[in-house]
Chain A
């Protein structure tokens, strides 16, 4: 019987992705039976059709309306893929998972008129992944071979149902592709194992215990009933709880529809968790992960703040915690409250946040809290940085019918906020916003 959760990622380095007669991996090339994949995804009655396209680094190609991205991964030798989301419930975070590194599944949404958010200024190209030019240089997805899945909604379904179907299609595609690698010898192996809190620390007593408080749902946006987030549950109003970090790396958690700058790919490759794992036993002892949901209500936020702080201090025994958030500006409030409660208990905190000032000329207004004890803040950059994208030769995805705008394959003046893979709210980016 194992004494600790041990996850082994069996990594295949994929050099190229092409369509072929059979879905297989030969000499580092992933071949995809396009029709088989399309039909498999189309089994979902909420969809009227699914297109699958390929986009390679260096191509003058632009993926638009990119809703989310996932790394092709599948459990091999037992275990369940994306439990609760793709049907069966089960354990993840241990055993073997095959990873097709160098590829990504991008799901592109077909927005219909009237689909929320009705915010003015939501451009018709939605979020963009460029495969060449400045966008590609800055984005992690400009360097992966992307398998773009474009599901179309069935006529009668609601936008909420469609958005669930969108996520499911993304996850199904990711699993389907990775299964092609399940019997192959991995090119590399990564092992993640961390014992339970009561067992951690044997021999590491001298090291500071650091936990991570992960706000994985911002609570800022309308939640979709039935949307799978945590073991398939909507989880939008849960109180803070503990997860083993491996569960997050291995598919127990999927992003809600709107997070801003966190994708399933980001969760699978969670940079904060990886950083803590890397330094475990060296300059810190990784005490564990607390997950929490931002709320719009002061009482709820206070409750979550106290509970998170208690879990950190009294259950995990943390000396310090790092915190991140998702969403926009509002979730900074529960983030800061949680940090304050931790500091009150003597648990030191550091935060990593993106800034959302009104514009790049309003640095003074760029964070929403001012608590003297919450004084260790790392900048993850500001998404309002402008970027000019060149014209492209190929578009994947459907531009929204509204608002009117220039052709999406032409040059585009936009900001990082509308690009995928450039900035990250969980620290997977070297961007830093510097005050001038």
Chain B
């Protein structure tokens, strides 16, 4: 199931990453690699299935992009480099080839079809691509790897160029080796992919992304440095002052740059809505919006005669002291002021529902999806402007 689809009950849960512990690096997405299988690994070569698109699979170019999934025995094309990289440790028993367009036009179903073929080979590991900068191919590789992990519980590794859309979509779930934008260093990339795959099978710890050459998967893991934080921060400052290169321990966050909508031309005719992430909810929190890591939002009607009565509301939000808002909810959701503006004709209408969630310690992806869903609803209800209040 594609977790990225919006669900109808306003639940926006991105697949929750499992907690990694030092001792147990094999917990990929909550699925243990077959426990007893490690006995099987010693001595016997791993059964490897390789996924390729129509081009690398030797079927044809764009003209064959609609090719349905098919299976050929043994390694094909770059699969030979995969076989070479595994050496005695693994045998590429089969290659699944699928056209990029076929896959892109029906991602869910194509993944299932490909998985059925993969399953038939009872593999110990899946290698996909590498896809370099081919976008449809990258998405297919990512989807196949992700499903192989969750459905079969086996390691699955691929490789892509940083701008491949498959990277952002799948790096949290799958080890994606970073490649250049062309197939020039195919065998290097394949070596790295196979190396990680073998270690995943052996349940060995995989090192830091920058060292191993894969895209950071988004986990934060506490480790113990050789020096206390105070020493590190002073040393880093001194390096910066001396103009020496230094490595920040925290990379800057990657946020979307959202292009703002153009300004309202006619405020007097516009319907404006209030949206808040301050966690204001009706007493009893009927939609059970979480006070942190929220995955839900709600919309709450109010009468234009009354505004917001403090007896009717509560605040569910771990990140600020709600004392002032509990005394008067208008301090967070200024219905009173908006109603005045409506009466005075400054705005056309105040939308008589406010939208609310709690913006405390949220998974960025979930909040983004909620924002999109709220915007969609507001648009359908004829709202053309929003005042967003926060804390």
Which A residues lie at the B interface, using CB under 8 A?
116-117, 119-121, 208, 210, 220-222, 271-272, 274-276, 279, 283-284, 296, 319-322, 324, 328-330, 348-353, 355-370, 372, 375-382, 384-386, 416, 424, 426-436
Contacts and interface: CB of A to CB of B under 8 A. Distances in A.
Given A329-B319, A370-B252, A370-B255, A433 B226 contact: no
Nearest to B362: A358
Contacts of A359: 16-17, 293, 363
Nearest to B239: A376
Interface stretch (B32-40, B241-249, B332-340, B376-384): B241-249
A381 B232 CA distance: 13
Q: Which of A361, A379, A427 has the most CB of B within 10 A?
A: A361
A428 B229 contact: yes
Nearest to B19: A386
Contact of B209 (A320, A429, A436): A436
Interface in B7-61: 16-21
A129 to B, nearest CB: 19
Question: Per DSSP, are chain B's interface residues mostly helix, strand or loop, or mixed?
Answer: loop
A351 B252 CA distance: 13
Which 9 A/B pairs are nearest by Cβ-Cβ distance?
A: A361-B17, A427-B230, A222-B321, A427-B229, A350-B237, A365-B364, A271-B230, A352-B233, A377-B250
B204 to A, nearest CB: 14
A119 B318 contact: yes
B303 interface: no
A358 B252 contact: no
Contact of A436 (B217, B236, B316): B217
Given A435-B216, A435-B220, A348 B209 contact: no
B230 A352 contact: yes
Contact of B230 (A274, A329, A358): A274
Contacts of B208: 434-436
17 contacts: A119-B291, A271-B228, A319-B241, A361-B18, A362-B364, A367-B253, A375-B252, A376-B240, A378-B232, A380-B229, A427-B230, A427-B232, A428-B230, A433-B221, A434-B220, A435-B209, A436-B206
B259 interface: no
B292 interface: yes
A435 B233 contact: no
A376 B318 contact: no
A17 to B, nearest CB: 26
B2 interface: no
B361 A329 contact: yes
B323 interface: yes
B232 to A, nearest CB: 5
Nearest to A275: B230
Given A360-B221, A363-B218, A364-B364, A424 B320 contact: no
B283 to A, nearest CB: 13
A365 B234 contact: no
Given A349-B237, A367-B253, 19 more contacts: A119-B318, A296-B391, A321-B237, A357-B220, A358-B361, A358-B363, A360-B220, A366-B220, A368-B253, A375-B252, A378-B236, A378-B250, A385-B222, A427-B228, A432-B249, A433-B220, A433-B250, A434-B208, A436-B206
B238 interface: yes
Contacts of B260: none
Contacts of B226: 430
Contacts of B230: 271-272, 274-275, 352, 426-428
Nearest to A321: B237
Nearest to B324: A222
B241 A320 contact: yes
Nearest to A356: B361
B64 interface: no
Contacts of B19: 360, 386
Contacts of B233: 272, 322, 324, 350-352, 376, 378, 427
A233 B227 CA distance: 35
B261 interface: no
Contacts of B241: 208, 319-320, 348
A284 B363 contact: no
B223 interface: yes
Nearest to B250: A377
A380 B241 CA distance: 21
A122 B236 CA distance: 36
A379 B250 contact: yes
B248 A279 contact: no
Contacts of A283: 238
Nearest to B293: A358
A210 B230 CA distance: 13
